[in-house]
Amino acid sequence: MKLTIRKWLTFVEHKMEEAGQQADIPLRKLSVVAIAKNPFLGGYQADLSEGIAASEALGAMFGKRLVEAFGDYAIQSYGKAGIVGMDGEQEHANALLSSLFADPIRAAIGGGKSWIPSVTKVAAPGTLIDVPLAAKDALYVRSHYDAMTLCIPDGPLADEVALIFTVANRGRINARVGGLKFEDMKGVDGLV
């Protein structure tokens, strides 16, 4: 199965201040989006494995785009999301965002021991989606629990799916709720 991509989009947020406090290091969030023809249309399919297998090559394309667009910033957190057009079902995005999709991204960005926070839904073009973020090597780093809100004005169309991968260079500005600090994580088991 080959995935047909209609368009790629990149969204960047660069934040320097929160609640009147200047950040020592700006918070940079970046999302790469691929809007593709939904390969699973035409009725319920019990077996989605062809799409899962095809998503590995897509993950490699995402990894390349993420690294190029993020520039000199180190990636500390990540998340993924999918919006399925109205003719599809939520499981279609989940199939295309599996670990086969994610592993080439992990390789491109320099690791990722943690599971990748994720959200998917069925929606019309222009819907908002909050892509969840967490530290890529230690899930218990609370300062990195965050999100990036996106709106794709012309997608996904009813027969499409929008696949999203988001990264950030640091935790929230002014994070102060305790827990494991990023600099103290071990990054061995994906939790601490």
pTM of the shown model: 0.95
pLDDT at 180 (0 to 100): 87
Share of the chain above pLDDT 70, in %: 100
Q: For the chain, give every domain's residue range.
A: 5-168
pLDDT at 188: 80
- Is residue 184 very low, low, confident or very high in pLDDT (cuts 50, 70, 90)? confident
108-143 pLDDT tens trace: 999 899 999 999 999 999 999 999 999 999 999 999
User: What are the DSSP calls for the chain, one per residue?
Assistant: ----EEEEEEEEEEEEEETTEEEEEEEEEEEEEEEEE-TT-SS--S--HHHHHHHHHHHHHHHHHHHHHHTTPPP-EEEEEEEE-TTS-HHHHHHHTSHHHHHHHHHHHT---SPPPEEEEE--TT-EEEEEEEESSBTT-GGG-EEEEEE-TT---TTEEEEEEEEESSS-TT--S-S--GGG---SSB--
pLDDT tens, 53-91? Answer: 999 999 999 999 999 999 999 999 999 999 999 999 999
Residue 124's pLDDT is 98
pLDDT surpasses 80 at 190: no
How many Å from the N-terminal Cα to the C-terminal Cα in the chain?
38
Confidence of residue 102 (pLDDT cuts 50, 70, 90): very high
Report residue 189's pLDDT band, with 50, 70 and 90 as the boundaries.
confident
pLDDT at 151 over 90: yes
CATH architecture assignment, domain 5-168: 2-Layer Sandwich (3.30)
Amino acid at position 107, single letter: A
**Which whole number is the average pLDDT over 7-27?**
96
The arithmetic mean of pLDDT across residues 130-159, rounded, is 97
State the chain's mean pLDDT as an integer. Answer: 95
Q: Which residue has the higher pLDDT, 135 or 180?
A: 135
